[in-house]
Amino acid sequence: MSMNDLDSIPLPQGDLALQVVAMPKDTNADGDIYGGWLLQQMDMAGGAIAREVAGGRVATVAVSGMSFLTPVHLGAIVSCYADVLEVGRSSIRMVVEVWISSKHDGEPIKVTEGVFVFVAIDQNGRTRQIDQGD
């Protein structure tokens, strides 16, 4: 593989945060996975990483910038990658990407990405500061 190939072959950004197989209960009548199911997987993946960064409980407060590039078919392996963009006083902003692979697709294919914002919360559900361990 040459350096030029590296620029033309897209790869997932961030850390693998969740991997699951698309099952029949998650499909519409045509056998494609519901977009809402994908959003749920992305939220769980991002939430797991945000919880680590925040050192405890977090809540999703915003999702933006999503568009679906290709359908996800039954049996595809759905992989969610999370890349933290910014850690604020109480919030974490990250990009979550979804990639699929299956015996039919060959190379992994990017399905969607979105920017998620999570806020650290305390045991009472109130916003709390993130200890950034200066």
Write the CATH number for 114: 3.10.129.10
105 in a structural domain: yes
76-98 CB burial, b ≥16 within 10 A, e <16 = bbbbbbbbbeebeebbbbbbbbb
pLDDT digits (tens, 9 = 90+) for 7-61: 556 889 999 999 999 999 999 998 899 999 999 999 999 999 999 999 999 999 9
Confidence grade of residue 105 (pLDDT, cut at 50, 70, 90)? low
What global pTM score does this model have? 0.88
Structure tokens, 30: 């045509």
73 in a structural domain: yes
Q: Which domain holds residue 62?
A: 11-120
Is pLDDT above 90 for 104?
no
2 in a structural domain: no
40 in a structural domain: yes
What is the distance between the alpha carbons of residues 45 and 60, in angstroms, rounded to a whole number? 11
Confidence grade of residue 65 (pLDDT, cut at 50, 70, 90)? confident
Task: Tally the domains of the chain.
Answer: 1
Query: Does residue 71 contact residue 109 with C-beta atoms inside 8 Å?
Result: no
